[in-house]
Structures are given as C-alpha cells and as structure tokens.
Amino acid sequence: MTGPSGPQGIGDRLWPLYARYVQRPTLAFTPSQTLLRAIFDVTVFLGEKRCPGVTQRRVSLGGVPTLALQPDGSGSGRLLYLHGGGFTIGSARSHQHMVSHIARAAGGTAWLPEYRLAPKHPFPAAPEDVLEAYAALSAEGPVMVAGDSAGGCLALGLLHWAARAGLPQPSALALLSPIGHLDLEAGGFLTRLETEILIPERWGRYTVGAYLDGHDPSDPYASPLAAPLPAGPPTLIQYAEGEALAKDALASAEALRAAGAEVAVEVYPGMPHVWQIHAGRSHSADRAIARLGAFLRSHGDPT
C-alpha cells in the first residue's frame, strides 16, 4: 500500500513548505471565493510545469464547456478528469498541466469539464454537469474517470448518478485523495486536521457548506460513501500520508472493494494534499503520475 520509493529532490522538500506557509493561509484568509479562484488559477497555471507535445482544444460535452488534452501519438484511451478545489475553486486552467502529464503517461486523451462551482451553483449543479459530460463521452465508447479531492468525490458520485441514469459504468477509476463523505459532524474528513499540511479547517467547513447549501449530507448523490456503491470498476487510489483525506481515501477503497472492485491503494509520505499537481517539479509527483499512467493505460485502450 505504500507508494513507490525513490530519490527525493528539492521540490519534494519545497512543496510541503509552500503548501503549509503560503497556500494554507491563502485558503484560510482570502475572503472571496471569486478572488481565491483567480489566485489559484493563475498561480498554478504559471507555477507548474507544462507538458510538451499535448494539443489543447475547447469542446462541449453535453453542453458543458470542456478542455480536451490530446498528447502526440496518443492511443484511443479516453479519460474524463474532474478537477478538485473544494467545489468552489479550480478549473481546467488550474489543472491542465497536471492532467496533460497524466494523459501523456496514460497514452490517451483527457477531457477536463468546467463544471459549475459553489457558492453560486450549489449541489446538484456540479454532479449534473459531470453526468452530462460523461453521458456525451460514454456514448462513443468506454470512459475512464479520475478526479482529485472534490473531483474525486464527483468521480465516486458518478457511479451512483450513472446507475440512476442507466448509463454504463466507467471502465476504471483513478482517485487522488478523494472526499467520500460530506457529513463533517459524523466523522467527516475535517476531524483529522492536526497532520494536514494544506487544507485549513476554516476553509474546508466553508466549502462543504457552500456546496451543500442546506442539502442533506447523507444523500449518496452528494456523499457517495453514504450508501453502498452500485458498481466496482478497477480503481487506483493515491493519497498523502497524514493528510485529512487519508480516512476518506481508505474508506473509498473499502466501499469499492465491497462493490466488487479490484482496488490498489498507494500512500506517499511527506507530501501535501494532491501533490501530483507538481508534475515535472517533484520526484514524488512524477512517480505518482507514472503509476497513474500505467494503471490507466492498462484499462483505457480497447485495441
């Protein structure tokens, strides 16, 4: 269950410090989610390493604006990637470099939908958009689904939504530190923040509240682990040791196995939440994405 070991570089030592002393206070004390969204988009887009040889194009998937990322020489594997950001920030812009690295490692094309965000668009806007995008993509053949943090929650939730809509289930799942349950008063992920490097409790509670907007957190269409999952596709889960979402990552693995899935779980020590976003600037991120790519490649190309 431990992630693959290897040499650490300066990035592996730098990014945890950056997460703790720059990103965490920014999340905690920026009063406007609109401003925070802009800060996140710009700093990640400019600060992370671009992936060469990836063609970008804007498309519509079921009416949802989407960024398609196609590496040169890619095969027929197709990945729907759902970005994280606590349901209130994040975008195709913030995640396009990381997902480009994943697509290249997987040897297929990735689609990054711009699902609607809270607080302007609370639940169920985001999962409705994800379902529309997935329905459009799955009409053309098998689709793998991946997501980080809140995007991991949406990826897990899609199993419920697809079953209700009569759609085929994903051919595989890749979950990066997924949120599994949004009931924060009943053992949710914010109960273990003492070793969390990045996510401040103040911001976590705000984002969940903004997303639910009074909706029942025990609804499995919002909290996918609130009820047995209807299917169990092959799954890879990665999370950082000691992060607040470690509990949800392990609970997700248990729920997927109960639904019949073959699940591999990898834990990486010393890394911040969703460290994979530092691909090209962190050995740990590169190792994690190489593992993600190999997993997706093995499930994504029917030829």
Q: Are 108 and 301 in contact (CB under 8 A)?
A: yes
Residue 154: C-alpha distances to residues 83, 91, 140, 220 (Å): 9, 14, 21, 11
The amino acid that residue 239 corresponds to is Y
Active-site residue 149, yes or no? yes
Residue 104: C-alpha distances to residues 44, 151, 209, 285 (Å): 19, 20, 36, 14
The first and second tokens of residue 172, run together, are 């595989």
> Of these residues, 74, 138, 149, 252, which one is catalytic?
149
Looking from the CA of 278 toward its CB, the CA atoms found within 13 Å total 21
The first and second tokens of residue 278, run together, are 């530092």
What is the layout of strands, in order, in the sheet containing 144-148?
54-61, 64-71, 109-113, 78-82, 144-148, 172-176, 235-240, 263-268
Burial of 247 (0-12, 13-18, 19+ CB in 10 A): middle
Q: Are 181 and 223 in contact (CB under 8 A)?
A: yes
> Of these residues, 83, 97, 160, 273, which one is catalytic?
273
Active-site residue 243, yes or no? yes
> Of these residues, 114, 132, 243, 266, which one is catalytic?
243
Residues known to be catalytic: 149, 243, 273
